[in-house]
Amino acid sequence: MAGIAELPFKYHSKVYRYAGLAFYFSERWAEALGMFQVAANGSEVPEDWFNVAMAQVKIGWPAGAKETWQKVFDLSFAHQDAPETSTFFQKKLLFAQALQLAGACDEVGLDLVERQLMGFYLNDHITDDQFWTSRGVPAFSEVMETTRDYYRAMGKTEAEWGALCDRVAAAVDEEGKAMCEALRQRGLQ
């Protein structure tokens, strides 16, 4: 960071992004957030704002993270060719999981997994994890487990969980049906 002034300006945001990542993975969330905010300032790259949202969750500001997530959402559609380290679909799962781990389970995170991601498997009737991972879509198993975590955290009933498992099982392949049945049997406990 001491040498940033010596770098051409066009590299400044990259330096702040890398510094933010170093702080983030060192679990120094506040410093990471500061670096990510500088890197994202004026950026149209969804990844930059995703980093901000994830750091906001980590510092305990899920409301701000959800606002920033909306910017990630909007920019992902406006700039579909922007550089990414994870796909937009993977970001949905990562963000929902971060909210869940922060104890901030609500309709926003549940919508990301239950409606926005689950649709891939329901519409194509395929749950093979390799098939979806090769297309940048999170594994069916991860989406189902995260959805289960949300149902549990949000106080949904066993009947509601069972109904979701039945609905999903009716629309997916045999492998998916078996997973839904196993998850239904495990319940929310």
* Contact partners, residue 177, CB within 8 Å, separation at least 6: 169
Mean of pLDDT values over 41-54: 94
Query: Is the pTM above the cut of 0.85?
Result: yes
1-80, superfamily in CATH? Tetratricopeptide repeat domain (1.25.40.10)
Per-residue pLDDT for 85 more than 90?
Answer: no
Mean of pLDDT values over 113-124: 95
Mean of pLDDT values over 143-168: 97
Judge contact between 93 and 113, C-beta under 8 A: yes
Per-residue pLDDT for 176 more than 90?
Answer: yes
Report the candidate in 63, 36, 54 with the shortest Cα–Cα distance to residue 90.
54
Mean of pLDDT values over 176-184: 96
Report the candidate in 82, 102, 119 with the shortest Cα–Cα distance to residue 153.
102
The alpha carbon dihedral of 112, 113, 115, 116 has a sign of positive
Per-residue pLDDT for 110 more than 80?
Answer: yes
